[in-house]
Structure 1
Amino acid sequence: MDAYDKDPGARPDPGGSARARLPEPSPTGVDSREDVDSREGMESSADMDARADEESSLDVGPRAGKDSRAGAAAVRGEGAGAFGAEGAVPPAAPRTGVAALSPGYQVAAALALAVVGVAACVHLLMVFLSLAPTNTVTKQHGNAVAEWVYPEFEQNWKLFAPNPLQQNIAVQVRAVVRAKDGGLRTIGWTDLSAQDGAAIDGNPVPSHAQQNEVRRAWDFFTATHSADNRPDRMRGALSEQYLRRIVVMRLYRTYPADRDGVIQRVQIRSSTTNVQPPEWSGERVSDKPVYRVLPWWTVTADEAAGGVR
Structure 2
Amino acid sequence: MDAYDGGSNARHGPDGPEGPTGSAAPGVPAESGAPAPSVGLAEPHPPARPGPPAGPRAGIAALSLRYRIGVALALAVVAVGVCVHLGMTFLHVAPPNTVTREHGKAVDDWIYPEFEQNWKLFAPNPLQQNISIQVRAEVRDGEGGTLTTGWYDLSAEDGRAIDGNLLPSHTQQNELRRAWDFFLATHDGENRPVGLRGSLSESYLRRIVVLRLDRDDAVRATTGGVGVIERVQVRSRTSNVPPPRWSREKVSTTPAYRELPWWRVPADEAGGGAR
Taking structure 2 as the reference length, the TM-score comes to: 0.53
Does the CA contact (< 8 Å) of 1:177 and 1:260 recur in 2?
no
The Cα of 1:230 is off from its aligned counterpart by 0.7
Give the Å deviation of 1:260: 4.3
Is the Cα contact below 8 Å between 1:269 and 1:293 reproduced in 2? yes
Q: Aligned AA for 2:151?
A: W
SS in 1 for 2:151: strand
Shift in CA distance, 293/134, structure 1 to aligned 2, threshold 3 Å: farther
Contact map agreement 1:221 1:239 (CA 8 A) in 2: yes
Match of 2:247 in 1: 281
Answer 1 or 2: which has greater helix percent.
1
| Aligned residue runs from structure 1 range 26-105, under 5 A | none
Structure 1 residues 179 and 288, CA, compared in 2 at 3 Å: closer, same or farther? same
CA-CA distance at 1:301 after TM superposition: 1.4
Counterpart of 1:55? none
Shift of 1:256: 5.8
- Residues 255, 135 of structure 1: alpha-carbon distance in 2 compared, 3 angstrom cutoff: farther
Deviations 1:124-171 (A, max 9, x none): xxxxxxxxx9859xxxxxxxxxxxxxxxxxx999x922x332100000
1:83 match: none
Q: Does residue 1:199 correspond to 2:161, yes or no?
A: yes
2:179 is the alignment partner of 1:217: yes
Match of 1:204, SS? coil
Of residues 123, 133, 137, the one that matches 1:160 is 123
The residue number in structure 2 matching 1:229 is 191
1:208 equivalent in structure 2: 170
CA distance in 2, matches of 1:179, 1:134: 59
CA 1:302 to 1:279, structure 2 compared with 1: closer, same or farther past 3 Å?
Answer: same
The unaligned stretches of length 5 or more in structure 1 are 1-132, 137-154
Question: Partner amino acid for 1:210?
Answer: Q
Kindly indicate whether residue 213 of structure 2 is the aligned counterpart of residue 247 of structure 1: no
Partner of 1:97: none
Amino acid at match of 1:181: E
The 8 Å contact of residues 171 and 268 in structure 1, kept in 2 or not, is answered as yes
Find the aligned partners of 1:135 and 1:206 in 2 and give their Cα distance.
Answer: 39
Which structure is higher in RCO with an 8 Å CA cutoff and minimum separation 6? 2
Taking only aligned residues, the RMSD between alpha carbons, in angstroms, comes to: 2.7
Structure 1: how far apart are the matches of 2:126 and 2:198? Answer: 25
Tell me the equivalent position of 1:265: 231
In the alignment, the residues of structure 1 paired with residue 270 and residue 196 of structure 2 have an alpha-carbon distance, to the nearest angstrom, of 26
Q: SS state of the match for residue 199, structure 2?
A: helix
What is aligned with 1:304?
270
Q: CA deviation at 1:270?
A: 0.2
Structure 1 residue runs of 4+, over 4 Å off? Answer: 133-136
Is the Cα contact below 8 Å between 2:149 and 2:218 reproduced in 1? no
Say how many residue pairs are matched.
Answer: 158
In the other structure, the counterpart of 1:146 is none
Contact 2:214/2:271 (<8 A) preserved: no
Structure 1 residues 276 and 257, CA gap change in structure 2 (3 angstroms):
closer
Whole-angstrom CA distance in 2 between matches of 1:202 and 1:165: 21
SS in structure 2 of the partner of residue 214 of structure 1: helix
**Which one-letter code corresponds to 1:160 in the other structure?**
A
Paired AA for residue 265 in structure 2:
V
Partner deviation per Cα, 1:260-304 (whole Å, 9 max, x = no partner): 411000000000010111111111101111000000000011111
Separation (CA, whole Å) in 2 of partners of 1:299 and 1:219: 21
Separation (CA, whole Å) in 1 of partners of 2:240 and 2:113: 35
